[in-house]
Amino acid sequence: MSSPATGEGAGNTEYGRKAFKRSKSHFADRITADGRDGWPVEPGRYRLVVSRACPWASRVLVSRRLLGLEDALSLGVTDPVQDDRSWRFTLDADDRDPVLGIRFLHEAYDKRETDYPGGVSVPAIVDVPSGKLVTNDYQQITLDLATEWRDLHRPGAPDLYPEALRDEIDEVAEGIYRDVNNGVYRAGFATSQEEYEAAYRDVFRRLDQVSERLRDQRYLVGDTLTEADIRLFTTLVRFDAVYHGHFKCNRNKLEQDPVLWGYVRDLYQTPGFGDTVDFDHIKRHYYVVHTGINPTSIVPVGPDLSGWLTPHHREQLGGRPFGDGTPPGPVPAGEEIPAGHRP
């Protein structure tokens, strides 16, 4: 999610006032085992910067937890309410990231490319020694964590991108990206009735297809958690809280679809998923930052979160969440979601 989300460099008041276009990741270097782009996988060398409000950043948070990379890849969390200068480290002492020493994420972008004109987006991985941004390629980062970072995975880490299933995972994830992950933004930031209604139809057509797919199987591809589930989860977990009302995707709430509501609760209650989700950050970002859509910046009190912890019964479909592996351990100290920000 860039600042602003369109990646066009306009202020927060422009949300909903100009045609939405998802920016491509400008910095697409990869951190690989062989270091072919100049960035070799090394424990402790890089810092992951996220907003817990952002669904694209949340993918990386889930992957990092499931794979047990917390010690290898440190975490910086920004204020969910960014200003026109970019994501801010106002949650940290002295309003500075304690590792990078910067107040705004754009400082890492500027070290990489002077006067970079594009949006400052999360997730971002920064090289700690140089302070330079390495990559903001949200589509590739999680795939590389699952494959290129394998030597640093915890014992019992799941294979989130199994080679035999990659074609199917990619196909499923592409449809979800186009119509759901990105579709809710196309609806929310539409500037014409026609544009909005087309995106709305795409969102619910795809959700209906996904619901049918998940009716008799626990996970999207195969019988274990994969990259496809992570990519769907980060939109579904935000759906009732922000996309249903704020982005006008209001045919129905997720909790009114028994299959999707059971599926997303199953994931939420799986270690590594729900323990990365901060509903307060999510709501405050969308409702406060998008002043072109919500000029009063009033943040809704609801919805009631207690349902997220109710039984989902999806285990009756079988499936092995972590395959031959094990769940991740406890959330590291300092990364816990505050009690008031979760069910």
| Known binding positions | 87
Q: Which of 15, 46, 54, 219 is catalytic?
A: 54
Query: How many Å separate Cα 240 from the centre of its chain?
Result: 16
Give Cβ neighbours of residue 39 (< 8 Å, ≥ 6 apart). 29, 30, 31, 32, 46, 127, 134, 135
Instruction: Give catalytic status of residue 54 as yes or no.
Output: yes
Partnered with residue 23 across adjacent β-strands are none
Instruction: Give catalytic status of residue 200 as yes or no.
Output: no
At 40, list the tokens: 């070799």
Gap between the Cα atoms of 195 and 337, Å rounded:
37
Gap between the Cα atoms of 79 and 39, Å rounded:
28
**Residues flagged as binding site for glutathione:** 87
Give Cβ neighbours of residue 175 (< 8 Å, ≥ 6 apart). 206, 209
Adjacency order of strands within the sheet including 124-127 = 74-77, 46-50, 124-127, 132-135
Q: Which of 185, 268, 286, 287 is catalytic?
A: 185
Active-site residue list: 54, 185
